[in-house]
Amino acid sequence: MSPASRFAIVAVIVAALGGGGYLWWRARQTPPVPPPPPPRIAPQPAPRVEPTPPPPPPAPAVRHPVTRAAQPGGPLPPFTDSDPFVKSALIDLLGKKPVASFLDVGSFVRRFVATVNNLGTDSAAADLWPVNRADGRFETQPGAAGTVIAAKNADRYAAFVRFVETVDTERAVALYVRLYPLFQEAYEELGFPGKYFNDRVVEVIDDLLATPAVSAPVKVKLVEVEGAPRPSRGGGLYVFEDPTFETRPSGQKILLRMGPSNAARLKVKLAEVRRLIARGPGTSKPQPR
């Protein structure tokens, strides 16, 4: 065998041994174990953010504040025990006989506040009035085109109108200011917390002053109330024939029933009161007792 052939055979053997050794070495190697996956963590829900509530609406501005200077006679009594105090103050202002004749002083503060508020609505229950009802009954008479309010019906209110005209307006308003914390408390108790009673008084006075002056006889009609007995002559429930009158606030309808002369005289007194209690816009609150 030639040297070249022997060299070739040796090279093949060496290559085979080397390749086999490599394959044996790979087989002996342990494959690497992959690391365990990280533990699965459930996603946490985002914290719930409660919506911020809107700020409360600002308190309405007081348009006609009542300014109470230092009052003689000490503090007012508690609202719930104020009837004797208020009755005495009314007698001092008006006299004992007029108070007995024209006013209902039982729960006067509540009656006054409720009636003032109701005069600007479609109903002012007579049971709540702080004044006594007029004597007699509502009078009607035949007119050219139907039933009208009788001219003599105005006579029922004459004594009351004269009484109102004799009241010293400035002294009456001074007493109103003196008692104002009681009126304010009654107004809030009535269902108007945060509202200012004197603003309501001015609103209602403005409403009453806007009552139309009607010189012609006012037409009315009798209506039947289901379940009520048939009225006797001159009795029953009458409403205004003109729907623009019937839908007016109760205070205006009262003035229309009283007759144009009585209504005009009461408007004069109402305008005097308004001048003294409507001081313009403001933001003050009634001073504490």
Look at residue 101 and tell me if it is in a domain. yes
Tens of pLDDT, residue by residue over 73-99, are 678 999 999 999 999 999 999 999 999
Tens of pLDDT, residue by residue over 9-67, are 444 443 443 444 443 334 444 555 566 666 666 666 766 767 777 776 666 688 999 98
Look at residue 34 and tell me if it is in a domain. no
Q: Which of 36-45, 80-89, 110-119, 172-181 has the lowest mean pLDDT?
A: 36-45
- How many Cβ atoms are within 10 Å of 18's Cβ, its own excluded? 10
Instruction: Give yes or no for residue 188 having a pLDDT over 70.
Output: yes
What pairing do the DSSP bridges indicate for beta strands 220-223 and 146-149? unpaired
Look at residue 44 and tell me if it is in a domain. no
Selected residue with higher pLDDT from 205 and 7: 205
Look at residue 70 and tell me if it is in a domain. no
Look at residue 95 and tell me if it is in a domain. yes
Type and span of the H or E element at 155: none
Query: Among candidates 138, 140, 141, 171, which has minimal Cα distance to 276?
Result: 171
Q: How many domains does the chain have?
A: 1
Kindly list the distances between the CA atom of residue 40 and the CA atoms of 33, 43, 81, 219, in Å, as whole numbers in the listed order: 20, 9, 74, 89
Look at residue 28 and tell me if it is in a domain. no
Query: Among candidates 154, 196, 193, 175, which has minimal Cα distance to 284?
Result: 196
Look at residue 21 and tell me if it is in a domain. no
What's the domain range around 135?
79-277
Look at residue 92 and tell me if it is in a domain. yes
DSSP 157: G
